[in-house]
Amino acid sequence: MSNCALISIVDDDQAFRESLHQLVMLLGYTVESFASAADFLGSNLLSETACLVADVQMPGMTGVELHRRLVAAGRAIPTILVTAYPDEAIMDEARRNGVVCFLSKPVDADYLDRCLRSALQRSMPSEDNS
């Protein structure tokens, strides 16, 4: 049940990042994890990432800011945001800006799996270009 699509996780909380990494691997995906948005942006995996899972609250650059920056740079990687502090205003803005899903910590594995599938469908090139 291996899926070669690369899922990149960006979260400054090491324990959560490691547990989410394990969960996504158990769901059958290839996973890379980063401690910060800067680490992700500086990696050579940007163009290979099929889906980004990022924490909303991080020092330096938030998950929302990371998503905005990627879109502005022409790299609209399907993004799932995760937070321990759900905020309706942030969630609404993120959805308007194209974020696929918004997850609360602790993450529900079934919901995460559905979000990943939805995100990966968005990352596949469309055959209908009309």
Question: What φ, ψ does residue 104 adopt, rounded to 5°?
Answer: -100, 145
Q: How much is the pLDDT for 3?
A: 67
Q: Domain spans of the chain?
A: 3-123
Name the token pair of 71.
């879109």
pLDDT in tens, the chain (130 residues): 456 789 999 999 999 999 999 999 999 999 999 999 999 999 999 999 999 999 999 999 999 999 999 999 999 899 999 999 888 998 888 888 899 999 999 999 999 999 999 999 987 765 443 3
Q: How much is the pLDDT for 18?
A: 98
Name beta bridge partners: 7.
Answer: 31, 51
Which CATH architecture describes the domain 3-123?
A: 3-Layer(aba) Sandwich (3.40)
Residues near 51 by Cβ (< 8 Å), separated by ≥ 6? Answer: 5, 6, 7, 8, 77, 78, 79, 80, 100, 116, 119, 120, 123
Q: How much is the pLDDT for 1?
A: 42
List helix spans (H) across the chain: 14-26, 37-41, 63-72, 88-96, 109-123
Q: How much is the pLDDT for 87?
A: 87
CA angle 39, 45, 48 (to 5 degrees): 145
